[in-house]
Amino acid sequence: MTRHKRRRDPVGAACRVAALAVLSGFLVFTAYLGFAASRGVGIDFLRGASSVAVDGTGMGPALAGTLWLLLLTAVLALPIGIGTAIYLEEYAPRTRVTAVIESVAANLAGVPSVIYGIVGLALFVRALGMGPTILAGGCTLAVLALPGVIVTSRTAIRRVPEGLRLAAYGLGATRWQVVRNQILPAAGSGIVAGCCAAFTRTAGAAAPLLVLGTATYMSFAPQTPAHPLTSLPTQIFTWATRSQEEFAALAAGAAIMLLLLLLIMNLISALVVRRLSGAAR
């Protein structure tokens, strides 16, 4: 055995190098963000408005825009997506139609987000007359998130052991009682984790919002969904395209803010998942 271990293993060595390369790629990326942001980002940056002038610029409006967009997406996509998943899994008879809906939804989750952007522009901004507002952005992001929410919720519901269902029905429970008292508690952690993943993708989406037309200059934070569209990802894009170094620093600062927001979102979801899966046991 020891002789085997000592024998040279080129495959193992190559794999080790690859893993090290992946790790260092990520480290370089993180180091760049931290270094770039550390130059020229003051505390005013968090509160201030984004403006064309470099001094006194900030990302308050963009951050508020992203929070608005997340709220709208959650309100629109979560009930409809989870409701659809419950209906398809627990109510609808298994037919060819439900199979087609499932496969289309799963593949739509893999379609580039920018395509939802051009459709959102034609549909929400122009045909429905919303204009390039936060509302139109929220509707577009909700459509973008919908397939992911449906697919992950269905997967979580399907993982619930069939015995649980049969036992509850055997005791005379109605369909909704089975769903509310057995399925949702057992699948809850999976649904939360899946929806969080879908929302992480949505919250960071810049391409569809750029297509809708975002304001590059925003002097005050949005108060209502009728406000012109602004968000952290699109603000990062706008700043990244400027040639001056100062704007790159601002973009890096906003990027770190966005990453922190996503991290907090995922941490909360992880806590909820742990709580729910503990309760189910």
Binding segment toward another protein, per CB under 8 A, in 9-17, 49-57, 67-75, 273-281: 9-17
Q: Please say which residue, 215 or 276, places its beta carbon nearer to another protein.
A: 215
Task: Please pick, from the candidates 91, 166, 267, 268, the single residue that binds another protein as defined by CB under 8 A.
Answer: 91
Q: Is the CB of residue 82 less than 8 Å from the CB of residue 153?
A: yes
Q: Please say which residue, 26 or 217, places its beta carbon nearer to another protein.
A: 26
Q: Does 248 bind another protein (CB under 8 A)?
A: yes
Q: How far apart are CA 151 and CA 109, in angstroms?
A: 8
Q: Does 164 bind another protein (CB under 8 A)?
A: no
Task: Please pick, from the candidates 2, 4, 53, 129, the single residue that binds another protein as defined by CB under 8 A.
Answer: 4
Binding mask 107-136 for another protein (x = CB under 8 A): xx-xxxxxxxxxx-xxx--x----------
Q: Does 146 bind another protein (CB under 8 A)?
A: yes
Task: Please pick, from the candidates 58, 61, 65, 81, the single residue that binds another protein as defined by CB under 8 A.
Answer: 81
Helix orientation angle between 184-203 and 60-86, rounded to the nearest 10 degrees: 140
Task: Please pick, from the candidates 59, 72, 252, 276, the single residue that binds another protein as defined by CB under 8 A.
Answer: 252
Whose CA is closest to 215, among 153, 131, 112? 131
How many Cα atoms sit within 13 Å of 58 on the Cβ side?
Answer: 16
Task: Please pick, from the candidates 47, 176, 226, 260, the single residue that binds another protein as defined by CB under 8 A.
Answer: 176
Kindly state the number of chain residues that form the binding site for another protein, as judged by CB under 8 A.
88
Q: Where are the alpha helices (DSSP H) in the chain?
A: 2-6, 10-38, 44-47, 60-86, 96-108, 113-120, 134-158, 162-170, 175-178, 184-203, 207-212, 232-241, 245-280
Q: Please say which residue, 104 or 223, places its beta carbon nearer to another protein.
A: 104
Q: Torsion angle of alpha carbons 175, 177, 178, 182, nearest 10°? A: 160
